[in-house]
Amino acid sequence: MTQTNQSAPSATVVPILVYADVGRAIEWLQGAFGFAERLRAEWGGAVSHAQLVVGDGAIMIGRPGGVFQPPRAGEVSQYVHINVDDVDRHYETAKRFGAKILEAPRDQPFGERQYTAEDPEGHRWTFSQHVADIPPEKWGAKYAARSATSRLSKR
């Protein structure tokens, strides 16, 4: 039986992003990208970290400290990919909220319609909507001989 913990997100994968101003990031991510705040921790009168949810996914955000630093301008070491129901509507909301749009919505050869935005602290986000069921071979990919899903389910 899997142990639950009410203090942790239930998503299988939870990216953790560093923001200089966690409180401001919470508000912005809710308004621009539609996240909902699940939990926040405050130490010393400031928000030190928070958990945000969207659909069945989650992210955590925290303030800088030690080796944990926000992104540097002009460098991309990671980005977060999130599936949404209506990418064009999501794009319009993010744009109205002041998201820096790096790529406007467009259909991809692998059956997704996507756009990419950057938040005020430089984190990159790609939002994606399923628009067609395209076999991987049609766009240059193939399934692994033994998929990660089958390996994980046998644990």
**Res 148: pLDDT:** 53
**Res 155: pLDDT:** 47
Vertex 105: Cα angle to 103 and 107 (nearest 5): 115
Task: Indicate the residue type of 149.
Answer: T
Report the predicted TM-score, pTM, of the whole model to 2 decimal places.
0.82
**Res 76: pLDDT:** 85
* CATH superfamily ID and name for 16-65+77-141: 2,3-Dihydroxybiphenyl 1,2-Dioxygenase, domain 1 (3.10.180.10)
Q: 139-148: long-range contacts at Cβ-Cβ below 8 A with a sequence spacing of 24 or more?
A: 139/109, 139/110, 141/110
Residues 63-115 pLDDT 10s? 999 999 989 888 888 899 999 999 999 999 999 999 999 999 999 999 999 99
pLDDT of 153 higher than 80: no
What span, in angstroms and rounded, lies between the C-alpha atoms of 128 and 17? 20
Per-residue confidence at 140, pLDDT binned at 50, 70, 90? confident
Burial of 32 (0-12, 13-18, 19+ CB in 10 A): buried
Per-residue confidence at 3, pLDDT binned at 50, 70, 90? confident
Residues 25-67 pLDDT 10s? 999 999 999 999 999 999 888 899 999 999 999 999 999 999 9
Which ranges of the chain does DSSP label H, i.e. alpha helix?
22-33, 87-96, 148-153
pLDDT of 150 higher than 90: no
